[in-house]
A and B are shown apart, each in its own frame.
Chain A
Amino acid sequence: MDLSRRTFVKATAVSLAFGTAAVAAGCTPEGGGLFGGGNGTTYKAVCRYCGTGCGILCEVEDGRLVSVTGDPDNESSRGLNCIKGIHLAKLLYGADRLTTPLIRDNPQTKGTNDGLREATWEEALDLVAGKLKTAWKADKKRIAFWGSGQQPITEGYVLSKFWKAGLLCNNIDPNARLCMASAVVAFMNVFQTDEPPGSYKDLDQADVFITWGANMAEAHPVLYSRLSSRKLSGADVKHYDLTTLITSTSKDADKVMVFRPGSDLAIANAISNYLIVNNKCDTAFIADHIQFKTGAENLGNAYEDGYDASDVGKTVNDVAPATFEEFAARMSEYTLEYAAQLSGVSAADIQEIAEHFANPNTKVMSLWTMGVNQHNRGTWMNHNIYNMHLLSGKICKPGCGPFSLTGQPTACGTAREVGLFAHRLPADLLVATPQHRRYTEAIWDLPGGYLDAIEAPGFHTIKIFREMSKGNMDFLWTSTNNWAATLPNLTRFLGIDPKYDGVFKTFIVVNEVYPTKSTQYADVVFPVAMWVEREGQYGNAERRTTIFEKAVDPPGEAKWDVWTYLQVARRVLEGETIGGADAFDQLFGFIWNRETDDFDGEHREINRRLFEEYRIFSNPQLKQAAQDINMDVTGEFEAKLKMENKQLAPYDEYLDKNGLTWPVREVDGKWLQTSWRFANGSQADGFDEVGIAQYGEAGLAGNVSFYKSAKGKPSAVFRPYEPPAFEPNEEYPFWFCTGRLLEHWHSGSMTQRIPELQRALPEMLLDMNEEDCKRLGIKDGDLVRVTSPYGSVEIKASTAKRTAPPEGLCFAAFHQESVLINLAVQDIYCPLSKEPDYKKTIVRIEKV
């Protein structure tokens, strides 16, 4: 780069940063638009890492990316990106990108880097379709698809339609089961809608932040930056970090409270109880809005494969109505002292937080993610957080509310909103509910009753892999995940335990961009496009749907995932009919050209058609048959579906704008987003005016109307403290907690494919307490063996305090394939959400 160009580029970079500082502060920078000065073409995109959903502007010259810039017009990130954005573009260009289909002829080579040979698409597609068709015809319970919270919306939608309507099979689940399922189940239990009531805008207005087991500074850095900006704004803003170990998020917190693993349940209950016994609840809010319940207790744990079908396993979702007094009576056990005794946090500290909830003028925001969700009582802990906010009325108000942070870029948009779960249909609909099946049939033009074949939910993630490990699965297809690295209990699932060799017997197809641990177990690998090599849509944690445009071509013969689904669907559904019509044409004829055996249109147009069909789910007025079921015009169902609850705008609105938070309402010809759900106020200001006018009630306490909840009232369900699945003992004296670090995302399946990048990325280490190390004779950098009842892994010990665990607890991140920590992690899961508890495996540590 010559000096004048260099000067210009640097001046542009500086100017963009100053302008972004103004945008982040809520000001309009002088001179209007920020981006400009480049010679290339700019495409709008969204970062493909975490669930924050940061907007990115990609500049392309001569078919290659030459710069990335935080998108100042994206309201989720307001021009910021974390440092992982530096290598976003480089991820596309790793030397070992997969560019041709691969076939494994000898299953005995599974688990190694050998055994895959190049093949043509025709050969690979025919092989996969043949295997799937044979397995499907023989027994639908022995096939499964494991999807992802990273699959864009239209990709997930096609997949769901193929698997649920085409194959009439519910064995489809996403990797979001491993990160967000507890949040999902609690959302549905409490609100009967899967969504956060607030938005990121709350971060700019809260008085008190409480992070619950969440290392936001590393896992959601841009949102943590927003929190920090609020704290540094001069207002008297507090941040309490409740955690089981000291992290980067603890560094600048006003108070850090280290609690014993699992005892967060008791701390939250003690805060709720404090509000009750001190008459500090918002009684008007409770009277208008809350129904109380108790639920099944003494759930035990899913130690055995048969837990879900056991006597206790079948009762886990049971709840019963309760009066406020009954609820309060159950809560009364949770005194500050009792919670202090269970947690190790002082009663005074717990009271300090409780008093913030008790103050009607204080805006409190609770933030959580994997620490709460990956918990043997993950769903319960989500409940207990909502209980505090519901009792105090601190919800659905700007700056105030419980906010579930999400893990993956479109865990909300695809896994949850599209419904890639084994029990779901699109838009929160459930396979088990007749009205939901009728509604879906109406949109997909299926004969009435067609989907009754899938009324029973399929296998959840752990069930899929437990069955596979026992040899009970014939066909598994996975995409946009790296199951062989991220699943817990890999000692079992990878067949290292010889009792479980099913992975070697199952025909496994993996859609991938790089060789990974999972491709080592694949019988066929489909090379696919990644990130901006195709157009897609992400839905982030604050309900924002954003399109990322195709900016460059995929390498070699790599294809869009949707193309692979449809090529296989076309082959498998050959000769099948739906209502007398060709099954494939019935489902996908609107995007596929039989003559060319390819998409019937350009990339953008295919996405638009798919999104417009998907959009009917939240816009029933677009199809009369769907609207009739939505409004229950025949009276055959119990109630209206209120599908407009999650209304999406036309596809082109998202192209024009840089993301919109649903529900998006058409007011005077303009599509307006919603920032605060169920809160009455002007739609133009981000309140839920249109929704409340349609289905809610004005004039209720707090100017709130929970119109999607049963009887208009969310549920405060009493959930007690029940201990972790295992407690440290003489043989396994440590807790082993796993998590993430700033520099990496996912399983390293992308960041670890770039050899030069390795220098800058931290090695995965076992963070230990110095006293524990002294006692065991372990020095910083020593190789140690971590052994649990499930398996063992060797890793270097560290006392450098990247995280600083208390005595008796150790921590490691899961990003490095060569240090496969999940070999030792338990596959115990929350009985309600079936999400594994990655945070509390018991282990022993020995110097190697």
Chain B
Amino acid sequence: MNTGIIESVREATTDTPNSAGDAPVVISSYLALLRKGCEEEVVASMAALEGVEVHGSEHGQYVVTIEADSVDETFERATKITRLEGVTTFSLVHCNFEDEDLGA
């Protein structure tokens, strides 16, 4: 696991979730492929987004989580990441929305 870039980013950013206590939360994880040569910069850009944390890389893929108040907010943040310069692909792995009343 490559955590060098991640540690340097963590020092400069806060990964505190946007919600605290018993507030509803949607937690999701992703794999990101980043353009070669600009990984550090892109990791920093991702981690600077509210509720976004980069956990390291495995087999060239960066593991990212998003914590947000709702599915819609999660989608909004994920969309922002897909549009960051240097993000080649950003794929969903898992999304837990057990807190959210989807209307069922």
Contact = CB atoms under 8 A, between A and B. Distances in A.
Interface in A201-254: 217, 221-222, 224-225, 228-229, 232-233, 251-252
B75 A87 contact: yes
6 contacts: A6-B17, A20-B31, A61-B98, A69-B94, A79-B93, A252-B35
B31 A66 contact: no
B102 A64 contact: yes
A159 B55 CA distance: 49
Interface of B: 1, 17, 21-25, 27-31, 33, 35-36, 55-61, 63-65, 67, 70-76, 78-79, 82, 88-99, 102-104
A277 to B, nearest CB: 37
Given A18-B63, A83-B78, A759-B72, A67 B103 contact: no
Interface string A65-89: 1111110000000011111011101
Contacts of B91: 70, 80-83, 221-222, 225
B92 A86 contact: yes
The 3 closest A-B pairs by CB, nearest first: A93-B103, A25-B59, A13-B29
A237 to B, nearest CB: 12
A47 B78 CA distance: 18
A573 interface: no
B95 A67 contact: yes
Contacts of B71: 86-87, 89-90
Given A21-B58, A760-B75, A89 B88 contact: no
A1 B98 contact: yes
Contacts of B28: 13, 86
A21 B89 CA distance: 13
A41 to B, nearest CB: 13
Contacts of A754: 72
B96 A27 contact: no
Nearest to B1: A18
Nearest to B60: A232
Contact of A66 (B25, B72, B98): B98
A86 B67 CA distance: 12
A757 interface: yes
B45 to A, nearest CB: 16
B93 A70 contact: yes
Contacts of A552: 104
Contact of A221 (B17, B65, B89, B94): B89
Given A13-B27, A13-B65, A68-B95, A93 B89 contact: no
B25 A94 contact: no
B92 A10 contact: no
Nearest to B80: A760
Residue among B65, B72, B89 with the most chain A CB within 10 A? B89
B31 A6 contact: no
B88 A252 contact: yes
A698 to B, nearest CB: 38
B58 A85 contact: no
Contact of B94 (A1, A12, A83): A12
Contact of A17 (B35, B63, B73): B63
B56 to A, nearest CB: 8
A765 to B, nearest CB: 14
B31 A24 contact: yes
A63 interface: yes
Contact of A217 (B29, B89, B93): B89
A320 interface: no
A118 B101 CA distance: 27
Given A9-B96, A229-B60, A21 B72 contact: no
A92 interface: yes
B96 A232 contact: no
Contact of A70 (B59, B82, B88, B92): B92
B93 A86 contact: no
B79 A228 contact: no
Contacts of B56: 18
B104 to A, nearest CB: 4
A225 B33 contact: yes
A24 B59 contact: yes
Contacts of B31: 17, 20-21, 24, 80, 225
Contacts of B70: 756
Contacts of B79: 83, 742-743, 760
A10 B78 contact: no
B93 A20 contact: yes
Residue among A18, A66, A228, A252 with the most chain B CB within 10 A? A18
A728 to B, nearest CB: 31
Residue among A12, A90, A233, A742 with the most chain B CB within 10 A? A90
A16 interface: yes
B102 to A, nearest CB: 4
A1 B70 CA distance: 12
A63 B103 CA distance: 12
A24 B58 CA distance: 10
Nearest to B100: A90
B103 A94 contact: yes
Contacts of B97: 65-67, 89-90
A656 interface: no
A10 B57 CA distance: 17
B59 A63 contact: no
Residue among B59, B61, B73, B94 with the most chain A CB within 10 A? B94
A21 B54 CA distance: 14
Given A225-B31, A229-B61, A759-B72, 19 more contacts: A2-B21, A9-B27, A13-B29, A16-B93, A18-B1, A18-B56, A25-B60, A61-B98, A66-B97, A68-B94, A69-B95, A86-B78, A89-B97, A90-B72, A92-B102, A217-B88, A221-B91, A742-B79, A756-B72
A3 interface: yes
Contacts of A710: none
Contacts of A232: 33, 36, 60, 88
A81 B93 contact: yes
A562 interface: no
Nearest to B73: A760
Residue among A17, A66, A82 with the most chain B CB within 10 A? A17
A82 B95 CA distance: 12
A742 B82 contact: yes
Contacts of A80: 31, 91-93
